[in-house]
Amino acid sequence: MKFDPPLRRGRLVKRYKRFMADIITEDGQALTLHCPNTGSMKHCTPDNAPVLFSDSGNPKRKYRHTWEAVQVAHGHWAGINTARTNALVAEAIAGQRVPGLSPEGLRREVTFGDSRFDLASGGAPLGGIPSGGAPFDGAPDTFIEVKNVTLGGGDDEPDHGLIRFPDAVTLRGQKHLRTLMEVVAGGRRAVLFFCVQHTGAQQVAPADDIDPAYGRLLREAVEAGVEVMAWRTTISPTVFALDAPVPVLL
């Protein structure tokens, strides 16, 4: 995911009302950004932290600028724009950069039961045409649920490289785990993909102290055959991209 022009820089003043953040730009301008993140953003709002933000260029938008990333503890960067997460993973899969996940028939926002998964792939090509970008119909072979992961330690904690999910209780995430298990029970492949938008990530684990029910369901899902993948993201003013896989500790 490339940014042209590059993302701009500033300093965080405060995040408030969940979807707003005040910053001071490098040239001293006060701006209010749209904050596209519904989570608690624990450890992602340090006082006076450097931030990266984009400009929609649309003067009709009430808040034309969007908060994209923040510098967190130990100098690492965290990507907080959850609207980017699915695109980052889809881009990597389409580019055949994620071993084990095929770009064949890749599509977004696919319904299974009463849940909607972020990505899916496989299925029968229309007219029996093999791959080559042909449109696909029918039920996908693989359902992929993507989660944005940013919860690292604070400044007063060692830089252990352990990044956790979730940063708040997530009933929606629990529901997705149950449906992923239904996918496996129905004979299809289910993948939970942790898109770790934290440049200090060395490993990923469930945040059992924050949402113990999610942790229990995650382990149950793995035992039922749900696959879990986690990839760290590189973050700069010019590009965000999946960088390397990291282990998941259960």
Domain-terminating residue out of 63, 79, 95: 79
pLDDT given at position 178:
96
Q: Using CB atoms within 10 A of its CB, is residue 96 exposed (0-12), middle (13-18) or buried (19+)?
A: exposed
Rg of the chain in Å (alpha carbons): 19
Eight-state DSSP code of residue 75: G
Two tokens at 215?
């942790």
The phi-psi region of residue 171 (left if phi > 0; otherwise alpha if psi is between -120 and 50; otherwise beta) is alpha
pLDDT given at position 219:
98
| Mean pLDDT confidence for 229-233 | 98
Residues 187 and 223 in one domain: yes
Residues 222 and 108 in one domain: yes
Confidence of residue 137 (pLDDT cuts 50, 70, 90): low
Rounded Cα distance, 103 and 96, in Å: 7
- Is residue 127 over pLDDT 50? no
Domain-terminating residue out of 52, 79, 106: 79
- pTM given for the model: 0.92
Domain boundaries, position 231: 82-245
Q: Using CB atoms within 10 A of its CB, is residue 34 exposed (0-12), middle (13-18) or buried (19+)?
A: buried
Q: Is the residue at 17 inside a domain?
A: yes
Count of the separate structural domains present in the chain: 2
Residues 109 and 66 in one domain: no
C-alpha to C-alpha distances, 203 to 50, 94, 103, 232, 250, nearest whole angstrom: 24, 24, 26, 9, 11
Q: Is the residue at 105 inside a domain?
A: yes
pLDDT given at position 132:
42
pLDDT given at position 124:
53
- Is residue 245 over pLDDT 80? yes
Domain of residue 226, CATH code = 3.40.1350.60
State the pairing for strand pair 50-55/8-16: antiparallel
Mean per-residue pLDDT of the chain: 92
